[in-house]
Structure 1
Amino acid sequence: MDDFVDAALSFPAAVFSFLLAAVLIYWLLVLLGTLDIEIGDLDVGDGLGLGGVPVTVTASVLVVVSWFVTLAGGVVTAALDLGSLVSILLGIGVLVVAVLAGLFAARLVAVPLRKLYAPGGEASRSDFVGRECVIRTGRVTGEFGQAEVSALDGSTAIVQVRQSGEHQLAYGNRALIFDYDMDGEFFWVAPA
């Protein structure tokens, strides 16, 4: 066990050992429910193929894989016993390889997870403005009426609708939603 601790706290693994400790503490706090911070994806990650997934996920994978590579590389370079200058140069090389391996692993994880984090945005009532609806009440007046409208994702909703009274809208008629009244929480419609 002492050899493991020595390897984890020696160069080059020590660089990622502290980062690994921070990642482990973060995920432990998230698991316990005391921490609810999800950092969004960074634009920097898009050029590396890491975009579309929270930074906490990709950074965690990068740190874990890089730590393991530096730990293994540090053990191998220490076993070679080549002298301090050569060991330091090899350690720097191991760090570069570890970061590249971590980035590769993070990308492998990010690509399939991107579908889970697809930006859909929050649905809004204003999304219905400009859509066609079907009247579901006997009539629509300036104070009463309901219609069925389809959202972009294919789901349907029954919404409160009103008209100015110029045209008669009855059950089954098609109408166009042209505005939303925030105060009254209803949609203005006109015959389609």
Structure 2
Amino acid sequence: MTELFNAAISLPNIIPTALLGLVLLYWITVVLGALDFDFLDFDMDTEIEGELEVNADAGGEGDVSISWLNSILVFFNIGKVPFMLFLSTLALPLWVISVMTNHYLGIESFLGGLLVFVPVFFVSLFIAKFLTFPFVKLFQHMEKEDGESNSAVGKICVVSTLITDKKIGQAQVTTSGSPILLNVVTGSGHQLKSGDTALVIEFLKERNLYLVEPYSG
């Protein structure tokens, strides 16, 4: 264990060790509640679109490079999963491979470690891409559910059963296709019966139902 610790903090391995340390510190602070899970996360589409707009205003010379960068980020699943999750799956194999490679090659200098770091970093990118595959579909499914949940907010619905602030009932939102059936509850002091019209105010994620209020438009 002492040998491993000494190898981890040696000059050839100081960069991957520092990166792994930052990732571990991040997860500790998340577990303790000091940081949110999506800290340092970003919406890649929004960021790229913003850059493209700025470049278009400035003459558009950087559009091609930004598009090229976007393609690379998408290829490695960056933006499809939270950034810190991707960085975590990158940091661990990067550290393991760097320590092992520097040990077996007998590298003891910072420069030698840096020369090893560059190719190992690219290898680790592909490992991270593979490791994040299962999470891509998971987060896509979660985003789809959030989109479906928010799509009913602001719509008019027709109450199907008695609803109060304590009694959960059902209501239907009319669409161009089949009606959407929602589990709903009213705000304090309100009561709705079958056939009443209501407005969908909010999706209560923790209760997996919608808050509605009487509507007479």
For the aligned pair, the TM-score class normalised by the smaller chain equals 0.5 to 0.7
The correspondence for 2:215, drawn from 186, 189, 192, is: 186
Structure 2 residue ranges without an equivalent (≥5): 45-69, 162-169, 185-194, 202-212
> Counterpart amino acid of 2:13?
A
| 2:130 matched residue in structure 1 | 108
Tell me the secondary structure at the aligned position of residue 17 of structure 2. Answer: helix
- Computing the radius of gyration from Cα coordinates, the structure with the larger value is 1
TM-score by length of 1: 0.61
C-alpha separation between the residues in 1 aligned to 2:86 and 2:173? 39
CA RMSD of aligned residues (A): 4.1
User: Is the alpha carbon distance of 1:123 and 1:187 closer, same or farther for their aligned partners in structure 2, counting shifts above 3 Å?
Assistant: farther
Cα-to-partner distance string for 1:150-181 (whole Å, 9 max, x where unaligned): 6899851278xxxxxxxxxxx7xxxxx9xx69
The correspondence for 2:121, drawn from 75, 93, 99, is: 99
Residues 41, 83 of structure 2: 8 Å contact kept = yes
Superposed counterparts of 1:137-176, under 5 Å? 148-149=172-173, 156-157=181-182
C-alpha separation between the residues in 1 aligned to 2:28 and 2:200? 46
The correspondence for 2:95, drawn from 53, 63, 67, is: 67
| 2:106 matched residue in structure 1 | 78
User: Is the alpha carbon distance of 1:10 and 1:135 closer, same or farther for their aligned partners in structure 2, counting shifts above 3 Å?
Assistant: closer
In the TM superposition, what is the alpha-carbon distance from 1:28 to its structure 2 partner? 1.5
User: Is the alpha carbon distance of 1:4 and 1:135 closer, same or farther for their aligned partners in structure 2, counting shifts above 3 Å?
Assistant: closer
Give the number of equivalent residue pairs.
156
Structure 1 residue ranges without an equivalent (≥5): 138-145, 160-170, 172-176
Tell me the secondary structure at the aligned position of residue 61 of structure 1. Answer: helix
In the TM superposition, what is the alpha-carbon distance from 1:77 to its structure 2 partner? 1.8
In the TM superposition, what is the alpha-carbon distance from 1:147 to its structure 2 partner? 5.7
